[in-house]
Chain A
Amino acid sequence: MDPLGEAVMRRARILRARGRAALSVTALTVAAALSVGAAFTGAGGDARAADAAPVHYAMVAAQSHLEFIGTQAGAPFTGVFHSFTANIDFAPDALAGSKFDVSITLASVDSGDKERDDTIRGTDVFDVAHYPTAHYVTHAITRTASGYSASGSLTLHGVTREVPVQFTFASAASGTKLVGSAQLKRLDFGVGQGDWKSTDAVKNEVKVAFTLVLSPAH
């Protein structure tokens, strides 16, 4: 073959290669655009679905735990409530419709000492004869850096006060868990009358902590 012919053939091969490359780039661009479009459509669809439906959960009582940590004579002491119920409507992407409703049977208090439990149930502290349950219901739930924050009101000892709750939510194959805590001042609720009004022996600040194991209830 003559040198001119070879040069023409080489040039033609280069052009064909460039053409294929250009086609490939075009195809990729179109594919990317399509998938981005699909993603946006998908996200829009999710948001619509979530607004409508947080998941309704019931609490697995045997695995759930509700405790309070008070400070008595300078040392922290922990007590639990054996009997409480929680109805939870929650989905991380449906916070507007999410809600907690928790009822605690105060007589089920257990601080590891019968004498102290009787005192807590008695007229000067919870007065369970008149106020057998405590009730917590949320108004709004917002996302925070480390989890979620709920604003809600706690009714205890006949008094209703705002108590924010911080919590995390984890849904895994092994189960759905809601873990959180709150700080409250017992005297805001009139918990501690007579001798127990003083904060020398039992501090005003009480921490409440909970682990709720949830199962979908619909």
Chain B
Amino acid sequence: MKALAAAFAVLALAGCGSSGDGLDMRITLVVEDENIRAEGSECAGARPFQYVHAKAAYMLEDGGGDALVEDDLPAGRAVNADPSIDWGVERIPTYCVFELELDDVPRRPRYALRLARGSPLPFDASFVEGGEPVELTLR
């Protein structure tokens, strides 16, 4: 029995199996590029945010700059840049929004989303611990 417990301890130390104490995280990345698009259409960041597009690499870092997750962005979706206005046409000023879902992210007090260019976008762990998406904005 002791041997079995010891084996489990070794496996746990080795990181085998799911730790289960990581954080499932949703990030909504809003690129406020105000480009003219059909609402709901697939989009990428318009210039000068052309580096934000499907298949572009991103990294989630902890507060110390260590990489926790590396993945590629999905395609974005165009959302109305100003819902208070009835534009009356199909193609309207929009933002391009990317929805990221990250599973079992190691718990840290602070995180930052790093894209191919620009400064990392920082946020506190408290913003994502309730399961709600954290909204990060490029403008």
B partners with A: no
